Chain A
Amino acid sequence: QKEVEQDPGPLSVPEGAIVSLNCTYSNSAFQYFMWYRQYSRKGPELLMYTYSSGNKEDGRFTAQVDKSSKYISLFIRDSQPSDSATYLCALPSGYSSASKIIFGSGTRLSIRP
């Protein structure tokens, strides 16, 4: 079983729709959760991070963590064509600066104008 599972998509939705992106993880030791966005032929950029179960909101983006189910989600409200990218969930394996980050496979999202 992979440590982090993510549906690769592709996912195509119309502009203005609410998008739900999800990951599951197997190791309950993960305590810190991140979402990265990667545009084509670019490096990933950090979108959001959270430590605890529950929701964290930042503009049109909401990160949700359910530690009991080992399930994390990223919601995008009022989706825009500029949101079209690959979204990767990411879980650091520890708290030190040398800790590896385990990435999901990424979900390719396309927002149709």
Chain B
Amino acid sequence: GAVVSQHPSWVICKSGTSVKIECRSLDFQATTMFWYRQFPKQSLMLMATSNEGSKATYEQGVEKDKFLINHASLTLSTLTVTSAHPEDSSFYICSARWSGGSNEQFFGPGTRLTVL
């Protein structure tokens, strides 16, 4: 159990276009989902905390108008990178925390974004 999926697993796009990444908890409900970005050989950097039915909370330095987060249901959160630029190329990982209150976060497999 406790599977989190991401779609797509990789995407290549042109500079200036927008890309949407989906994060789904397949077998549990997640009140809270988290979005991370990871550059090569670096650790995960939290971008935002996504709460179902409310606005996401962004970390300092993360542009909320550039990284749009929607958490419309207890099993789905989406991250849209708007007007992507090459410096946005990274590995984007989501995680979901079970609504039952466990501290464990279940991570998705990640989405590799390459902006040309």
Residues on A lying within 8 angstroms of B by beta carbon are: 6, 8, 32, 34, 36, 41-46, 49, 88, 92, 95-101, 103-106, 108
Contacts and interface: CB of A to CB of B under 8 A. Distances in A.
Interface residues on B, range: 20 to 34
A43 B110 CA distance: 6
Given A42-B110, A98-B51, A105 B103 contact: no
A99 B103 contact: yes
Interface stretch (B14-22, B81-89, B94-102): B94-102
Contact of B110 (A41, A92, A96): A41
Contacts of A45: 107
A97 B32 contact: yes
A100 to B, nearest CB: 6
- Chain A, interface SS category: loop
B109 A46 contact: no
A41 B95 CA distance: 15
B112 interface: yes
A92 B49 CA distance: 14
Interface in B3-42: 4, 6, 31-32, 34, 41-42
B49 to A, nearest CB: 6
B93 interface: yes
B80 interface: no
Contacts of A96: 101
A32 B103 contact: yes
Given A42-B109, A43-B107, A46-B104, A105 B42 contact: yes
A108 B105 contact: no
A101 B31 CA distance: 16
Contacts of A92: 103
A95 B6 CA distance: 26
A44 B44 contact: yes
A99 B93 CA distance: 17
Given A88-B44, A98-B32, A43 B93 contact: yes
In the A-B complex, list the 4 residue pairs whose CB atoms are closest, starting with the nearest: A43-B107, A105-B43, A106-B43, A97-B97
Contacts of A49: 103-104
